[in-house]
């Protein structure tokens, strides 16, 4: 499989393979590197296959953009900035996380902020219980995120995107769902995304595998993608993919079906334990443990939002 793919005269896609995210380079008067990715030793040479294909050096990169804050997408930026100064642009939430030292602490705090309202609803006034569950969450995220944070340092972000703006002819779209700060970039009929959509499997829902994932946001973000009808999707993981509308519609339908099933399970069982257990039974065997556990609060959060809307109407 070719690791670097020329999508258009401006866009080059570099399939990095796990544990790093993929990296995309947009060439022009301003050369933009999107998601520089991860290398445990911070070796800038890991980007050389992409740079040599395009015919530029590290010093020819003018700006670094991020799709979201996760370390497999961002860690290499610190080492690129040691080579020479570059402008760094991100979502405001990404900026907050990446400027924390170490960034993993900022990510954990963001996750705790997202899960705290659910714990307060489940265990009102039981501060000890809430703190215990928050501590469990803290250690789980740390266990998962630490291997991808080796060599990670805080990164100074110079500027933040606004939803719908255009920079150098590139449309910026906020696409929350996988993470609250995911951003997509649309140009030349090509959508550069983070982790919302898995191109290695179009017969699955959106990628919702951390507590801050939001299934309602994911549904709205996929609607945005359907509205722009890209010909190519360049994902955070997996290969670049030429797509048609039916592929995105399949992900959209499966995401809606997952939400409907999960909420109906909550209403039917009236028990958080039975809901969590029933959800696991319904998920395909191929769903990883991390995603299985994350979907429990993700769908419950959606249920609580629906409940609040019903009570206020």
Q: What is the pLDDT of residues 284-299, one digit of tens each?
A: 777 888 888 889 889 9
What is the distance, to the nearest Å, from the Cα of residue 204 to the centroid of all Cα atoms in its chain? 16
Q: What local confidence, expressed as pLDDT, does residue 127 receive?
A: 81
This prediction's pTM = 0.92
Average pLDDT over residues 271-283: 86
Whether 134 shows a pLDDT value over 80: the answer reads: no
Compute how many other C-beta atoms are within 10 angstroms of the C-beta atom of residue 2.
10
Q: What local confidence, expressed as pLDDT, does residue 1 receive?
A: 52
pLDDT-based confidence at 179, cuts 50/70/90?
very high
Phi, psi of 285 (to 5 degrees): -65, -25
Q: Give 91 or 117, the one with higher predicted confidence.
A: 91
- The domain segmentation of the chain, as residue ranges, is 4-98+150-251
Of the candidates 250, 249, 231, the residue with the CA atom closest to the CA atom of residue 241? 231
Sign of CA dihedral 130, 133, 139, 144: negative
- How far is it, in rounded angstroms, from Cα 193 to Cα 190? 10
The per-residue pLDDT of the chain, averaged, comes to 90
- How far is it, in rounded angstroms, from Cα 195 to Cα 224? 15
Contact 240, 199 (CB under 8 A): yes
Residues 6+ positions from 300 with CB-CB distance below 8 Å: 118, 262, 266, 272, 275
Class of CATH domain 4-98+150-251: alpha beta
Lowest pLDDT segment from 57-61, 99-103, 240-244 = 240-244
Q: What is the pLDDT of residues 60-81, one digit of tens each?
A: 999 999 999 999 999 999 999 9
Sign of CA dihedral 230, 236, 242, 248: negative
């Amino acid at each position: 499989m070719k690791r670097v793919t020329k999508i258009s005269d401006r866009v080059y896609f570099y399939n990095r393979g796990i544990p790093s995210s993929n990296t995309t380079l947009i060439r022009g008067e301003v050369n933009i590197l999107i998601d520089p990715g991860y290398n445990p030793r911070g070796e800038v040479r890991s980007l050389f296959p992409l740079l040599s294909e395009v015919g530029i050096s590290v010093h020819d990169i003018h700006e670094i953009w991020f799709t979201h804050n996760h370390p497999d997408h961002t860690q290499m930026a610190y080492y690129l900035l040691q080579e020479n100064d570059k402008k760094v642009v991100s979502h405001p939430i990404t900026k907050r996380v990446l400027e924390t030292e170490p960034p993993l602490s900022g990510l954990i705090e963001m996750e705790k902020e997202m899960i705290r309202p659910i714990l307060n609803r489940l265990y009102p006034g039981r501060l000890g219980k809430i703190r215990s569950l928050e501590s469990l969450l803290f250690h789980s995220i740390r266990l998962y995120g630490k291997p991808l944070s080796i060599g990670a340092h805080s990164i100074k972000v110079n500027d933040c995107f606004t939803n719908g703006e255009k920079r150098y002819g590139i449309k910026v779209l906020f696409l929350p769902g996988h993470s609250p700060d995911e951003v997509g970039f649309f140009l030349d009929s090509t959508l550069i995304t983070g982790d919302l959509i898995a191109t290695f499997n179009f017969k699955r829902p959106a990628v919702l595998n951390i507590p801050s994932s939001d299934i309602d946001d994911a549904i709205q973000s996929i609607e945005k993608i359907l509205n722009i009808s890209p010909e190519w999707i360049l994902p955070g993981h997996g290969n670049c993919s030429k797509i048609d509308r039916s592929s995105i519609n399949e992900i959209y339908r499966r995401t809606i079906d997952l939400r409907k099933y999960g909420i109906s399970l909550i209403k039917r069982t009236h028990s958080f334990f039975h809901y969590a257990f029933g959800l696991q039974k319904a998920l395909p065997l191929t769903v990883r443990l991390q995603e299985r556990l994350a979907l429990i609060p993700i769908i419950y959060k959606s249920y609580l939002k629906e409940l609040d809307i019903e009570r206020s109407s």
